[in-house]
A and B are shown apart, each in its own frame.
Chain A
Amino acid sequence: MLTYFLSIYGTFLKIGMFTIGGGYAMIPLMEREIILRHGWLTAMEFLDIVAIAEATPGPLAINAATFIGYRLGGLGGSLLATFGVVTPSLVTLLLFGSLLIRLILDPRAERFLKGLRPALIALISVAVITLGQAALVDLPTILIAAGIFAASMIFPRLSPLYLIGAGALLGLLLYPY
């Protein structure tokens, strides 16, 4: 029991540590750790949670952690997962803030980050492929994905909230009841 709760905290700590540059950076890590490594969720359940996290206020990483944590261990699980994913922010900024801010502006750190970002693109691309296999299961779902992708390319400033809403609406219309 204790080791289970520790592994919830540890897993989300790891996810928080390597989520650099925003919410989508977290997706490949969550997929690997939560779906593949621990088998805590299926790819479909994971996508459902990301959808809820996108449609509610707040940062994606925190929303997803709270939700997955709840699934894994109720209130305790959601508190531990949330605390895990925010620990790196709290530790780096609150405890070592001024030091790290100076380090980040070092040219070597800049070069490291310049290499890290293409890696992030590679990883999110892989996640699109694997999650796509779980979500695009028939013609309607393929059409929904294609339509929403096209819409977000044509209207880049449109809030993701509207696109999520469009997906929900199309789901209601096209679902094979």
Chain B
Amino acid sequence: MNQSQQAAQQKKVSLFTIFLVFLKVGAFTFGGGYAMLPIIQREIVTRRKWIEENLFFDMLIVAQSLPGAVALNSAIQVGLRLRGFAGGSLAALGVIIPSFCIIYAIAAFFLPHFQDNAYIKALFYGLRPAVVALIAAAVINLGRSILDHRRSIALAAVLLAAALLLKIHPVFVLIAGGLAGLILFQEKAD
């Protein structure tokens, strides 16, 4: 245990501070959950020294392996570690509240007044292909890191064909992939 962690444990972090830190991260981090992770890391590990870096990286692995938004899963783990159930709950609220309020304001108060405006239509005309391009780029980037093995490439190809041609529900495609993983990656696959 290093000094910073000892210090953190000697002086309990207040629940309100946990809430505020995640509220700030939630309100000011653009670009989705993955963009939030380095900001959370800077705030929690580097600046406030609440958690050691190695432990934080373990938390990220768990966050990406469990259901739900990655940033939310990371925040809950940090809160849990610092102040148990209450800390985890407040960290979650901190991440969720800014998202909810900003989107609610746009959906309820802003868009209804402007959705028939020609400029807003033009904006979305350009935003739609941009979003498709970003999702396509995510496929390529994920593919580079995940499809590192002949078996995972074959699995992706078979499931792609199944999803495309047989229109199998995404949930079953995911479960089929997981079960295939249990069988395919049994021996030490690198």
Chain A residues near B (Cβ < 8 Å)? 14, 16-24, 27-29, 32, 44, 47-48, 50-63, 66-67, 70-71, 74-75, 78, 82, 85-86, 88-90, 92-94, 97, 100-101, 104, 108-109, 111-129, 131-132, 134-136, 140-142, 144-149, 152-153, 156, 159-161, 163-164, 166-175, 177
Q: Is the CB of B69 within 8 A of A59?
A: yes
Q: Which 8 A-B pairs have the closest CB atoms?
A: A115-B181, A171-B126, A167-B130, A119-B177, A58-B99, A89-B68, A175-B122, A145-B129
Q: Is the CB of B66 within 8 A of A168?
A: no
The one of B61, B89, B143, B170 in contact with A123, judged by C-beta atoms closer than 8 angstroms, is B170
Cβ of B1 < 8 Å from any Cβ of A?
no
Cβ of B51 < 8 Å from any Cβ of A?
no
Q: Is the CB of A168 within 8 A of B156?
A: no
Q: Which of B129-153 contact A (CB under 8 A)?
A: 129-143, 146-147, 152-153
Q: Is the CB of A57 within 8 A of B72?
A: no
Chain B contributes a number of interface residues (CB within 8 A of A) equal to 94
Bound Cα distance from A28 to B147, whole angstroms? 19
Contacts of B123 in A (CB 8 A): 168, 171-172
Q: Is the CB of B130 within 8 A of A168?
A: yes
Q: Is the CB of A163 within 8 A of B133?
A: yes
Cβ of B8 < 8 Å from any Cβ of A?
no
The one of B73, B107, B152, B186 in contact with A117, judged by C-beta atoms closer than 8 angstroms, is B152
Known: A120-B142, A124-B138. A47 touches B131 (CB 8 A): yes
Q: Is the CB of A97 within 8 A of B179?
A: no
Chain B residues near A (Cβ < 8 Å)? 26-36, 61-62, 64-73, 76-77, 80, 85, 88-89, 92, 95-96, 98-100, 102-104, 106-108, 118-119, 121-143, 146-147, 152-153, 155-157, 159-160, 162-164, 169-171, 173-174, 176-182, 184-186, 189
- 7 CB contacts below 8 A, A to B, read A29-B171, A61-B68, A120-B146, A144-B126, A164-B134, A168-B126, A171-B124
Q: Is the CB of A56 within 8 A of B102?
A: yes
- Which residue in chain B gives the minimum CB-CB distance to A161? B30
Known: A93-B77, A112-B181. A47 touches B127 (CB 8 A): yes
The one of B98, B140, B160, B170 in contact with A58, judged by C-beta atoms closer than 8 angstroms, is B98
Q: Is the CB of A57 within 8 A of B102?
A: yes
- Most B Cβ at <10 Å: residue of A44, A56, A169: A56
Contacts of A134 in B (CB 8 A): 128
Contacts of B80 in A (CB 8 A): 93-94, 97
Contacts of B146 in A (CB 8 A): 117-118, 120-121
Contacts of A58 in B (CB 8 A): 26-27, 29, 36, 71, 95, 98-99, 102-103
Q: Is the CB of A159 within 8 A of B128?
A: no
Q: Is the CB of B32 within 8 A of A169?
A: no
- Shortest A69–chain B CB gap in Å is 9
- Shortest A122–chain B CB gap in Å is 4
Bound Cα distance from A82 to B73, whole angstroms? 15
- Most A Cβ at <10 Å: residue of B36, B73, B133, B152: B133
- Shortest A119–chain B CB gap in Å is 3
The one of B28, B33, B138 in contact with A61, judged by C-beta atoms closer than 8 angstroms, is B33
Q: Is the CB of B70 within 8 A of A21?
A: yes
